[in-house]
Amino acid sequence: MNRRTFLAALMATSLPFPANATQCRDGADNAQDVDWLITLMAARYAYLPDRHIDLEKLRRVYVAEAGAVCEPHAFLNVLERFLGEFHDHHIEATVNNAHSPQLVPSGTDLWASMRSGRATIEQVRPHSDAARAGVRAGDGVVSIGGIAAAQAVAARTPRCLAAFDPEANDYALRVLLAGTHDADRAFAVRDGAGKIRPIVLRSFVPPQYDAPLTARAIGAIGYIRVENSLGDGALVSAFDKALAQFDRARALILDLRNTPGGGNTDVAEPILGRFIAAPAGYQRVFDPAPGKSAARDSWVRKVLPRGTTIHLPLAVLVDRWTASMGEGMAIGLDGMKRATVIGTPMAGLCGATSDFLLPKSGIGVAFPTERLYHLDGTPREFWRPPVFIDPAADGDDPVLAHAIAILDR
């Protein structure tokens, strides 16, 4: 699915509630929505066993908080904090206001994690404000908003964990660095030489593109970059036109490093279909209903060939801004043995999401209801490209450079 429909330009005074949404008369409506959502997620959220959530405490805390507010924006704030308890970047409310946290990775130019208790920048989105400000992979995060990084992360971690979960700390750090739609981001980093530098960045605004892809020749190699358009049906015809212009190329590069908004199979599968001559499985799917086991009850999603098959050698480029459907395409082309995948770890978004409407407010919530796997059984969120590039590697674009070197052999 495409991530969050309403973006930062929406002001807090004009929250885009669905047309069928009703204004609550009292907080009981909000409490019922949260109680309903907890029951639903307990039954349908595919990754619940991995999140270490105390569901009884979650219900007790957030039903009470939701019941204490009525004003729509106040309820949205409670709902967003509730969803953050699951520390899963693939869970979201499908409406937002100016004070809402940015989505990761589509609303950030920084990827960070906690390493031995230290907040560390792992990757910076190329050509972003953070990159222009000199933030580099390997920098330590000293403070966020004037608060020591470890302290800020501790204050942001979920309140309803049943056990320590390091992923919760990583999630909290990334959300803090992404910030909100309406405020500058202020933090300080320590570089490799030990120098501490304050950084102030404007709120991240996703780039807009005039076309669904960029295509150019790199010598005898055809290069196609998807511009965050895996949910745009126009991408399929644009992709076909790009392939046609490379009819004399000796190899192709498919760059999926700008797909943070995800997409859908109706767009991705026709693209995959250009690279195969017969129906082929490209990812394994598991719906963890009660009594089912991934080893026994998962199934393989297949893609059909489409048009003239492209047999040229193919390299696929990925990084932390390769997300959701982009990740599915990468593991699919690797699993079908149709491409060499090159790059850093991907976004690691969990599973395939489904959309649900809260019965009282009409607000949409999306969360993963199916687990997804590489054909070899590796969970998609943990899969790494076979040609792995250190995110801190030197050079203008080491991932692309490695791809060209491999295809030039």
Mean pLDDT of 67-78: 94
pLDDT recorded at residue 3: 52
pLDDT tens string 294-336: 888 999 999 999 999 999 999 999 999 999 999 999 999 999 9
On whether the CB atoms of residues 276 and 339 are closer than 8 A, the answer is no
**pLDDT for the residue 8:** 32
13 exposure class (CB count in 10 Å sphere: 0-12, 13-18, 19+): exposed
Residue pair 138/192 in contact by the 8 Å Cβ criterion: yes
Taking all residues of the chain, what is their mean pLDDT, rounded to a whole number?
94
Cα(140)–Cα(218) distance, integer angstroms: 36
Cβ atoms 360, 32 nearer than 8 A: yes
pLDDT at 25 over 90: no
Q: What percent of the chain has pLDDT over 70?
A: 94
Predicted confidence at residue 389, as pLDDT, reads 97
Say what the pLDDT of residue 291 is: 84
pLDDT number for residue 19:
54
d(CA 405, CA 409): 7
Which residue's structure tokens are 């297949």?
Answer: 302
* pLDDT tens for each residue of 112-163: 999 999 999 999 999 999 999 999 999 999 999 999 999 999 999 999 999 9
Query: Quick one: pLDDT at residue 409?
Result: 85
Straight-line distance from the first to the last Cα atom of the chain, in angstroms, rounded to the nearest whole number? 37
- In sequence order, the 6+-apart residues with CB closer than 8 A to the CB of 147 are 155
pTM of the model: 0.94
Query: How far, in Å, CA of 167 to CA of 181, rounded?
Result: 24
Checking if the pLDDT of 276 tops 70, the result is yes
Beta-bridged to residue 322, according to DSSP, are: 259
Domains of the chain: 12-93 (no CATH), 110-201 (2.30.42.10), 213-346+383-408 (3.90.226.10)
For the chain, state the CA radius of gyration. Answer: 22
Across residues 243-263, what is the average pLDDT?
Answer: 97
Q: Three-class SS of residue 136? A: coil
